[in-house]
């Protein structure tokens, strides 16, 4: 169970047997120092940060869902001042309380220029949950439901991920996934719940009319793809 508290320090002091802390001022900013010297910057009155039942202060996140069950779009709370910004890009307890309790075992990073399209990819035997985001530039990220028996089988959902909006997209197992780079350059990161297994990757055609993804490709954009991604079969071949 978690609560939203405008003054995290006051809340921690009120927890029976909870940790004692010292409060330090750094200009207009307040730091809460927990045992061991850990300083959590940005935990100040009025921020509405989340405190869980263990007394852990965590960055507040908002989670959106869509018509396809299991897909989640996460928007973190970002704290900024004259130095720049700070936010928690991942916090297990916060994500667990939001319904994302998977254990991620591998982080991957890729890059690409405008027009690069990767996908649509899925794992055949070693299925992975993924938590994806763009840390540079902007991409259009897509997930396609390939779950057997799902009422939304073959349906897709897309979301803009960018270094500006800092949104993340949670894609469960048994979805095909891909993205298109919209900015001049982008860097893309994703967390996975299983390790990479050579030869285990399958694919679906990015332009399969049976799926009908509406890629935001302007007239002056030339798609950059590897031959393999251009030659994947459609949804019908996947079913067979």
Q: How many C-beta atoms lie closer than 10 Å to residue 111's C-beta?
A: 13
Check if 121 is active-site.
Answer: yes
Q: How many C-beta atoms lie closer than 10 Å to residue 187's C-beta?
A: 16
Please tell me whether the peptide bond between 88 and the residue prior to it is cis, using omega within 30 degrees of 0: no
> Of the listed 190, 196, 197, 206, which one is catalytic?
190
- Structural tokens at position 107: 């982080």
Using DSSP, state whether 9 is helix, strand or coil: helix
> Of the listed 87, 90, 92, 121, which one is catalytic?
121
Which is it for strands 117-123 and 201-203: parallel, antiparallel or unpaired? antiparallel
Using DSSP, state whether 17 is helix, strand or coil: coil
Cα–Cα dist 142/214, whole Å: 10
Q: How many C-beta atoms lie closer than 10 Å to residue 139's C-beta?
A: 27
**Which residues, in sequence order, are bridge partners of residue 63?**
74
- Structural tokens at position 205: 């055609």
Neighbouring residues of 234: CB distance < 8 A, sequence distance ≥ 6: 204, 205, 208, 209, 210, 211
Check if 190 is active-site.
Answer: yes
Task: Give the catalytic positions in this structure.
Answer: 121, 190
């Amino acid at each position: 169970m978690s609560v939203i508290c405008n003054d995290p320090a006051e809340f921690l002091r009120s927890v029976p047997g909870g940790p004692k802390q010292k409060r330090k001022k750094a200009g207009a900013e307040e730091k809460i120092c927990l045992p061991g010297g850990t300083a959590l910057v940005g935990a100040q009155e009025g921020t509405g940060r989340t405190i869980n039942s263990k007394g852990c202060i965590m960055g507040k996140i908002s989670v959106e869902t869509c018509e396809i069950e299991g897909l989640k779009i996460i928007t973190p709370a970002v704290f900024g001042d004259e130095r720049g910004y700070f936010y928690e890009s991942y916090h297990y307890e916060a994500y667990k309380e939001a319904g994302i309790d998977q254990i991620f075992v591998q982080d991957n990073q890729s890059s690409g220029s405008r027009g690069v399209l990767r996908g649509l990819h899925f794992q055949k035997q070693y299925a992975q949950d993924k938590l994806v985001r763009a840390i540079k530039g902007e991409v259009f990220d897509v997930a396609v439901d390939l779950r057997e028996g799902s009422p939304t089988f073959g349906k897709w959902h897309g979301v803009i991920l960018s270094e500006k909006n800092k949104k993340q997209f949670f894609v469960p197992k048994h979805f095909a996934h891909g993205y298109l780079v919209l900015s001049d350059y982008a860097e893309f990161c994703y967390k996975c719940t299983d390790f990479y297994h050579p030869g285990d990757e399958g694919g679906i055609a990015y332009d399969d009319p049976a799926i009908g993804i509406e890629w935001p490709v302007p007239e002056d954009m030339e798609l950059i793809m590897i031959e393999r991604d251009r030659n994947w079969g459609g949804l019908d071949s996947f079913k067979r």
